[in-house]
């Protein structure tokens, strides 16, 4: 890899952990509305509300807060108290300000890729301000040349990205934990993608095995293996 590449990193659950924090908040919501049914039923309702709202609300903590509130209203037939809803809002606010720690190997890998002369980019979807704030809290901001926060990571997004940053496909690499957002659209375009699985997965990012059929991409168990792969 002699030429300078444009290397894009997903943020949530690639650079720092996110899903476990959302899972904790969801667990607290289930406690608040525990009197409304079995946990599996409550989760199912929450997912149904989220699925319905996603097109209008997009991704991120504020969307999640609003969907949690709607779920609590629906499951209690409107009897949920203002006190409980305030608790839900406060849980959501914590999601917008928890301390961000880079995952193991992140600083090392970014520093080394920069040293080798590559351009590094964060490519993330979600709330604009929240994603910017997480990057700032992570302390990783200075290691990146560019930050792109988008509403969706699909093939059109990746094509726009390459054109905007004047990157040739053969000198582009996407690295991330989400098969749906970081790997499949990139591999479909014939660009290089590196999958770094994370132990927690968001239900709306899960993919069926057949969606991977015919696609080429590389998988590492630890982000640090990227350094050898991109040698």
Q: Two tokens at 167?
A: 């990157």
Interface residue with its own copies, options 129, 156, 200, 203 (CB under 8 A): 129
**Residue 150 lies near its own copies (rule: CB under 8 A):** yes
The continuous run of DSSP H or E covering 193 comes out as strand 192-195
Nearest-angstrom CA–CA distance, 231 and 217: 16
In the complex, what is the shortest distance from the CB of residue 103 to its own copies, in angstroms, rounded to a whole number?
Answer: 24
- Tell which residue, 163, 95, 175, 107, has the closest CA to residue 131: 95
Q: How many residues does the chain have?
A: 231
Residues 132, 17: contact at Cβ < 8 Å?
no
Residues 36-95 contacting its own copies, CB under 8 A? 56-59, 62-63, 65-66, 69-70, 72-73, 76-83, 85-86, 89, 92-93
**Residue 151 lies near its own copies (rule: CB under 8 A):** yes
**Residue 154 lies near its own copies (rule: CB under 8 A):** no
The continuous run of DSSP H or E covering 106 comes out as helix 106-115
Q: Which stretch binds its own copies (CB under 8 A): 149-157, 191-199, 201-209, 222-230?
A: 149-157
Residue numbers at the binding site for its own copies (CB under 8 A): 56-59, 62-63, 65-66, 69-70, 72-73, 76-83, 85-86, 89, 92-93, 96-97, 127-130, 132, 149-151
């Amino acid at each position: 890899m002699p030429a300078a590449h444009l290397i894009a990193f997903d943020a949530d659950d690639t650079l720092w952990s996110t899903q476990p924090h959302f899972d904790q908040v969801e667990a607290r919501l289930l406690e608040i509305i525990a009197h409304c049914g079995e946990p599996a039923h409550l989760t199912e309702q929450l997912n149904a509300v989220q699925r319905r709202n996603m097109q209008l609300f997009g991704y991120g903590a504020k969307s999640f807060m609003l969907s949690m509130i709607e779920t609590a209203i629906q499951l209690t037939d409107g009897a949920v108290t203002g006190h409980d809803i305030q608790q839900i809002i406060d849980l959501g606010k914590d999601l917008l300000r928890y301390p961000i720690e880079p995952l193991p190997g992140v600083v090392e890998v970014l520093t080394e890729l920069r040293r080798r002369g590559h351009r590094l980019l964060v490519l993330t979807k979600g709330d604009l301000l929240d994603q910017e704030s997480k990057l700032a809290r992570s302390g990783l901001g200075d290691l990146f040349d560019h930050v792109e926060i988008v509403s969706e990571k699909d093939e059109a997004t990746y094509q726009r990205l390459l054109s905007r940053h004047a990157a040739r496909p053969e000198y582009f690499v996407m690295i991330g934990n989400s098969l749906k957002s970081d790997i499949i659209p990139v591999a479909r375009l014939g660009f290089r993608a590196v999958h770094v699985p994370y132990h927690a997965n968001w239900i709306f990012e899960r993919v069926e095995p057949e969606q991977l059929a015919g696609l080429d991409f590389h998988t590492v168990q630890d982000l640090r293996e990227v350094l050898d792969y991109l040698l």
